[in-house]
Amino acid sequence: MPEKLRATAIIAKREFAAYFASPLAAVFLTIFVALTGAFAFYVGNFFERGQADLAAFFAFHPWLYLLLVPAVAMRLWAEERKTGTVELLMTLPISPWEAVLGKFLAAWAFVGLALLLTFPMWITVNILGDPDNGVIVASYLGSFLMAGAFLAIGSFVSALTKNQVIAFILAATICFLFVMSGVDLVQNGVRAWAPGFVASAISSMSFLTHFQEISRGVVEVPTLVLFASLIVFALFANVIAIDQKKAS
């Protein structure tokens, strides 16, 4: 399907450039790098742990993503609908899938860039000690994949509204439920009405649990399947949302 990838790539390129056309890119990248570092050093006790690894750095990624990733995703469709450019885009000879995928990939590449810019952490830990770089690479990939799941959810929610603030809050809330789905706060709410297997199914989707494995360097198949299928499912819902709501 090279023809399909062509339009997707062109849309992704435009969308990626759009991040850099406003101060958003500079603000986001700076804050992202600063916060990941600050959390690792001050909250994660990077030095005091006395271990040459990046566990303290990765441990806070789910929480940072909760705030930062919906901020990247919120404009994807809400802005198109608000300004009316969605009408322009969807009357070009492309399918909704190509547009949804192109936009998602641009946002994912942008978050990927932010993640790459944290490389000084990796250099630091290699200077200070002798870390297992395989674990670090696996953790980076796992973090990137989790960011993709956050983004896909954010992109879907963004297609439901013209209001970016609503898109942000809704996406952050849904992502929060996914992160916390193994924790008592959410589990108590579920167990009150759902049978046990539903509660454990929801619990097994907990980003937090999966990501703790990842930050130890253990990337298991169920984790990959969870994040990948969440991305596919959210993007599928995104396409339907665009089809249904584009004109309202």
Using CB under 8 A, list all residues that contact other proteins: 6-7, 10-11, 14, 17-18, 21-22, 83-85, 87-88, 90-95, 246-248
Ramachandran angles phi, psi of 37, nearest 5°: -65, -50
Query: Minimum distance between the CB of residue 83 and other proteins, rounded to whole angstroms?
Result: 5
Q: Which is nearer to other proteins, 43 or 88 (CB)?
A: 88
* Closer residue to other proteins, CB minimum distance, 53 or 80: 80
Min. distance of Cβ 157 from other proteins in angstroms?
22
Closest approach of other proteins to the CB of residue 197, in Å:
39
**74 burial type by CB count under 10 A (0-12 exposed, 13-18 middle, 19+ buried):** buried
Residues in the chain, how many?
248
The runs of H, that is alpha helices, within the chain are: 2-20, 24-38, 55-58, 61-73, 75-83, 85-90, 96-116, 119-128, 133-158, 164-180, 184-191, 196-204, 207-215, 221-245
Q: Cβ of residue 106: shortest distance to other proteins, in angstroms?
A: 13
Cβ at position 77, least distance to other proteins in Å: 14
Closest CB to other proteins among residues 85, 173: 85
Name which of 20 and 47 has its Cβ closer to other proteins: 20
* CA–CA gap between residue 206 and residue 182 (Å, rounded): 5
Which residue lies nearer to other proteins by CB, 7 or 135? 7
